[in-house]
Amino acid sequence: MTIDDRLILRQISGYVSGHRTYTPLIWPCRFAIVFPMNNKLWLLPALSLLVFTLAGCIQPSPPEVKLQDYALSKVTLEGIEINFNLEIKNPNPIPMDVTSYAYKIYLNDIEFLNENRTGFSLPASDQKLVAIPVYVRYDKLFGTAAAILNTLTSGGKTINYRIDGTVNAGLLGATVATPIKASGTIPLPKELPKEIKF
């Protein structure tokens, strides 16, 4: 069997005399599939081999997750609402499907939120901002009116927060996951309602 009768992979690009070459430009792969121009029966096997080779060549990276910011969006007689904004990024040069993501949010070591959400698609090298609203009741956070007054008068004018979770994604038949980890403090509003309800 001569070289004209074979399907081969070569570390070249462009045109080879007597052959048609296809060079994928997907990083980090760079190779050419070469097969005879006068034999169209090679087309389907060549494309199948190309897909198989690309799947093995690209090493998928997990999604990147970070807490972008938070904001106090509402202050009422019963509690406050805090919006946490998570940024989920696809670092890969091909699209990624975020299949699901789950998280727990703790304030002063008390669990206030435990959710599982369905995912979404992320284009190549793109990111999406996910808003997570948390309503914080004073009675759950502080217990009693005396406790909140004691917290404020003793200088405890911040809330400790912690976010734990996981983002799951699929790419080229592989499943990748990234933990969600964030913690810090949130300052209490300077002026809380005078008649707090419990």
Show the domain range for 42: 3-57
H or E segment and range at residue 51 = helix 43-57
165: amino acid identity, one letter: G
CATH number where 164 lies: 2.60.40.10
- 3-class secondary structure, 144: coil
Report which DSSP code applies to 161: E
Task: Give residue 53's pLDDT.
Answer: 56
User: Which of 25, 40, 57 is at the close of a domain?
Assistant: 57
Q: Are residues 92 and 139 in the same domain?
A: yes
Single residue among 42, 57, 72 that ends a domain in this structure:
57
Residue 102, classed as helix, strand or coil, is strand
Residue 193 lies in a domain: no
Query: What pLDDT was estimated at residue 37?
Result: 54
Residue 197 lies in a domain: no
Q: What is the mean pLDDT of each run of 10 residues along the chain (198 residues)?
A: 41 44 48 53 60 61 95 88 97 95 97 97 96 93 75 73 97 91 90 61
> Are 50 and 141 members of one domain?
no
> Do 125 and 152 meet the contact criterion of CB atoms below 8 Å apart?
no
pTM value is 0.69
What does the DSSP 8-state code read for residue 16? Answer: B
27 & 76 share domain:
no
43 in a domain, yes or no? yes
Residue 94 sits in the same domain as residue 142: yes
Which pLDDT does position 1 carry in this prediction? 47
For residues 76 and 135, give the distance between their C-alpha atoms in angstroms, rounded to a whole number: 10
> Do both 126 and 53 map to the same domain?
no
Question: Residue 166: its pLDDT value, please?
Answer: 98
What is the predicted pLDDT for the residue at 26? 45
